[in-house]
Amino acid sequence: MLHFLRHIRQKLILQENVRKYLLYAVGEILLVVIGILIALQVNNWNQQQQENKLLWGYLQNIHSNIEADLKEARELNYVYDQIESGTRRIVSISQKERINIRERDALGAHYNTITGIGVFSANKSGFEALKSTGAIANIQGTHMEELLNVYYDRATIIEEELRRDRDIRDDAVKEYNKMEWGFNFSDFYLQNDTIAFYGYQDEFLKMINSSIIQSVFSNGYYNNFDEYFTTIDRIGSIIIFMLEQEELFTTEENMRLVSFLDMDLSNDGIEDVVVNGSYPTSLLLITESNLGEGGILEQINSAYLTIKFEEDIEWGAAIFVVDTMGIGDTRPSKDFSKFTAVEMELRGDQSDQEILFSIKDRLDPDDGMETRAPIILSQEWNTYRFALEDFTTADLKTLNAVAIFVALSGEPITMDIKNIRYIREE
């Protein structure tokens, strides 16, 4: 190629054709420039491919880290659930005047479980590598960047909160171990002789009912980790799905979940009640029936919330109420007067079953006389919309129960809730 161009150049010089020679020279320069530009483009493409390969290598490490995090969080949440379910029974045993060896062992095992529970600790190695190498700049402005920052910020807060709880338990254990209780601890762990056990039972019960031990037990009355777990699980699951699809952006619906993370103590009503099965920390889901809390089950799935009304209950209700986490009013409310309608996406496991929907303000009595709107469930997802002005018994300025689902049929009903949103029409 170069020999051919050189031959043309020499021919033009011999012919003393200046005009044609200049045109040729310009053309040759253009060819060189184009060649350089192509080479640069290829080099940039190769460099970009290499950077993308490195980026997704870091992101895959984060994928593995978060998968392990969520496995650890689920196992820890299960332990907290078991502690919660057993603490009331254990405390009632501790208050007996006389116990047997089996009850003694149950008390000891429960105490050891509470004091031995671990602290959730997210693996940040992949995320730290992404930041330290500067590769995080390649996801700047994406949903992935925002979600990763929120996930690891939230994980740090959870770790710090649980570590404080753990420190309190450790202090109680240290104090417990310093005290003389009037019997040999080897008896507590090893002695299965009933007569010998009754010989030190009074001292043992004195120890169990001490303020130190009871303060440890009190930590088990409620699974306070569950709210943390729900947050970390939902955001982590979104990130994992995005990474498996090799996507840096997700739906706006998923991104709205981020706004659910912080407790909202304002007086203004919120737009989203449920998004993809999750509800914000400013709301609390409670269940009631003629059997008390029994007869109704709730379960958060990957993208919806399931409410199960068991068979033979005369009535049951799943109620989303304004929550302040014990701060201020015992029956708090928010001002929803700026909204005009409420819309929800529901389905049932069977078609043609009826659920009643309602809302209540903070002063509405619990007599079942509030305005109710019927919903006929289908096995397909359907959107139901109700004008708020039709709920004449509720004062929208002081709404306490923002969504109530009531079952009165006496037959088992399973209802899935994907989204509930308040609508403001200008």
pLDDT for the residue 299: 84
Residue 3 has pLDDT above 60, yes or no: no
Best CA proximity match to 267, nearest among 207, 201, 334, 198: 334
Total count of residues recorded for the chain: 426
Buried-state track 178-195, b at ≥16 Cβ within 10 A, e below 16: eeeeebeeebbeebeeee
CB 279 within 8 A of CB 273: yes
Could you count the other beta carbons within 10 Å of the beta carbon of residue 293? 9
Looking up tokens 């040999």 gives 184
Domain ranges of the chain: 51-260, 272-423
pLDDT tens digits, residue range 176-206? Answer: 777 777 766 555 555 566 666 777 788 888 8
Prediction pTM value? 0.74
* Spacing of C-alpha 311 from chain mean position: 30
Tens digits of per-residue pLDDT, 70-118? 999 999 999 998 998 889 899 999 889 888 888 888 988 888 888 888 8
Residue with the larger pLDDT of the pair 66 and 171? 66
Kindly indicate the confidence band of residue 25, based on its pLDDT and cuts at 50, 70 and 90.
low
Q: Could you tell me which CATH number the domain at 272-423 has? A: 2.60.120.430
Average pLDDT in the chain: 85
Residue 273 identity: V
Question: In terms of C-beta distances under 8 Å and separation of at least 24 residues, what long-range contacts does 71-79 make, across chains too?
Answer: 72/120, 72/121, 73/120, 73/228, 73/229, 73/232, 73/233, 74/229, 74/233, 76/117, 76/118, 76/120, 76/225, 76/229, 77/223, 77/225, 77/226, 77/229, 79/113, 79/117
